[in-house]
Chains A and B, each alone.
Chain A
Amino acid sequence: MMKSQAYALVCATGLALCSFAAQAQLTIEITGAGANRLPVAIADFTGERVVSQALVSVIRADLDRSGLFKLVDAGAPLADSATPLFEDLKARGADAVVGGSVAGAAGGRHETRVRLSDVLKQTSLGNPAYLHNSGQLRATAHRIADFIYEKLTGEPGVFSTRIAYVVKSPGRYELKIADADGSNDQAALASREPIISPTWSPDGSKLAYVSFEAKKPVVYVHDLASGRRHVAANFKGSNSAPAWSPDGKQLAVVLTKDGSSQLYLVNADGSGVKRVANSPGIDTEPRWSPDGQFIYFTSDRGGSPQIYRIQISGGAAGPAERVTFDGSYNVTPRPAPDGKSLAYITRNGGRFQLALMDLATKQALILTDSAKDESPSFAPNGRMILYATEIGGRGVLAAVSSDGRVKQKLSVQAADVREPAWGPLVR
């Protein structure tokens, strides 16, 4: 008993000390693909064999997982400087081909040059070069995949981004950060008490989240590079649901210091708290629109939980405007990165499902066929939505494209995964 008390004390005073070795990493399984996948051939690169094999396998896995590409066998290795065998590639069904070469560079580094070509037009679409060391193979491959993705789709790729999520194992909660493909997972925080609602600062350097280590919900801001954190909101009552302003200077939070759960703004350092909206009941789950004009939130002011928005720009907040009308339970609003649509969770015949609303037409589409969806989070290019759900009584993450076609399942063996948050684009 003394031992467990001493342990609790160590955990309470220095949560980072409670980290153990990383457990099984997040694995991604593709469960649905796009209808019209672009056929692309990623040839083996020439030059340093071990490096090029490592790069090419990650590039292929990235593009395949996106659900937007069909990988075609290129036949033979292809250097970036060589002219692809266009007629042969066309016969193989490829619309685009990627070749590359890896050469040694000063200081034991490598220079990888890549060329993407249009097979039908027989033209080059770009020839970038990457200088990297052996410890940056995955990161370099993600950057190459991002280049290919952006050239072929016109949207930025998100293979170099990171995701945050919470893993619950018996008596233990870990806030984890991993690459978007689930690799390189690291615990930013481990605690015996729950951690919920992680959310990335717009520059990707910090996470805001709610931790219950003080036997009540308190909002923290955690700097990922230094591992340091500070309390952003710890008022009497509950403190929860942090959301970053698009400029990263403020957080919208939900506090109960004046009564029921209401929306407030605080500076990211925890100073200058001010109330944003007033309702007699619950207002929670704030999220800024990407242009900073509105805050979307969940409120029961109309009798059932529905999504509303208030205009926030220019000081004083405007009147609340109701956004969802269908059904008796619509919660967790998440505006898309382009601000044109809104992901949220709707109760549909007893099932909680991920829905997407076109904000101009107010048309909504249910994107999943699961029953316990929670916490949607857009990829920063708006293409995929990551969310938490349950399969066989266990928490898993899943991702679905905004057209509902591409589907992925992300799980950690023998643990509950929940509360996903997709980080911003890396520039």
Chain B
Amino acid sequence: MRALISLTFLSLILTACGSQPPAPEQDPSGVESRSPGALKADTAPVGRTQPDSFDPNSIAALKDPRSPLSKRSVYFDYDSFIVKDEFQALLGAHGKFLTTNKKMKMLIQGNADERGSREYNLALGQKRADAVRKSLSMQGVAEDQIEAVSLGEEKPACLESSEECWARNRRGDMLYSGEF
């Protein structure tokens, strides 16, 4: 089990530090299921076999579903670029992580819903990415650790033309080194 855990950590670190194109998101439970010893724990919830305690600012925490760092999206209201109160704690956790791990870099990708001009929507997505960037800067994250960019309306998380869908597309996503 110990070897398995270190392997999981190693693969995470490799993923995090590699300069190769991003690998698909690593799922610790997926790695775990390859272990014959884990077959008995078939019905165990995801994360059950992870260490009982973890360092909240460790690189492993980025993928740990128990850590706020595993949450990477900030959602915005229509025509709004203000980080809502409900996301302040999340950005606080990411800010703490970045000030602790100064070698880690973050790409913030802003997004917009599909309505209207593609280039104007690119600029709206940039404003959302910038709002996230400024919030992290205020916490003392170095400028060279973060880059705010926009994907505009080009990478929708949701494809339907509905208010619910558009709301999911008005967001900023945080990607760490190795994920972009």
Contacts and interface: CB of A to CB of B under 8 A. Distances in A.
Interface string B9-43: 00000000000110110000000000000000000
Interface stretch (A1-9, A48-56, A73-81, A377-385): A1-9
A331 interface: yes
A352 B116 contact: yes
A177 interface: no
A241 B155 CA distance: 17
Which among B23, B126, B151 has the greatest number of chain A C-beta atoms within 10 A? B126
A362 interface: no
B120 A212 contact: no
Contacts of B120: 282, 284-285, 298, 305, 331-332
Main secondary structure on B side of the interface with A: mixed
Interface stretch (A220-228, A254-262, A403-411): A254-262
A174 to B, nearest CB: 15
Interface string A259-299: 11100000000000000000000101100000000000010
Contacts of A8: 21
Interface string B64-84: 000000000000000000000
A374 B117 contact: yes
Interface stretch (B51-59, B93-101, B142-150, B164-172): B142-150
A192 B158 CA distance: 18
A212 B117 CA distance: 17
Interface stretch (A15-23, A110-118, A232-240): A232-240
Given A1-B24, A212-B154, A332 B119 contact: yes
A339 B100 CA distance: 56
A419 B147 CA distance: 27
Interface residues of B, number: 28
Contact of A240 (B115, B116, B122, B127): B122
B148 A347 contact: no
A197 interface: yes
A126 B79 CA distance: 58
Contacts of A375: 117-118
Nearest to B120: A331
A217 interface: yes
Contacts of A374: 116-118
A284 B180 contact: no
Contacts of B119: 196-197, 240-241, 254, 284-285, 298, 332
Contacts of A197: 118-119
B154 A196 contact: yes
Nearest to B118: A196
Interface string B117-134: 111101110110010000
A1 B122 CA distance: 31
A256 B148 contact: yes
13 contacts: A196-B119, A215-B107, A216-B150, A238-B126, A241-B119, A254-B119, A260-B130, A285-B117, A285-B120, A298-B120, A331-B116, A331-B120, A345-B117
Given A5-B20, A241-B119, A282-B120, 17 more contacts: A194-B154, A196-B152, A216-B150, A216-B151, A217-B149, A217-B150, A217-B151, A237-B148, A254-B122, A260-B123, A260-B126, A261-B122, A282-B126, A285-B120, A298-B120, A331-B120, A419-B118
Interface of A: 1, 5, 8-9, 12, 194, 196-197, 212, 215-217, 236-238, 240-241, 254, 256, 259-261, 282, 284-285, 298, 305, 329, 331-332, 345, 347, 352, 374-375, 419
Nearest 6 pairs of A and B residues by beta carbon:
A216-B149, A194-B154, A261-B123, A282-B123, A331-B117, A215-B180
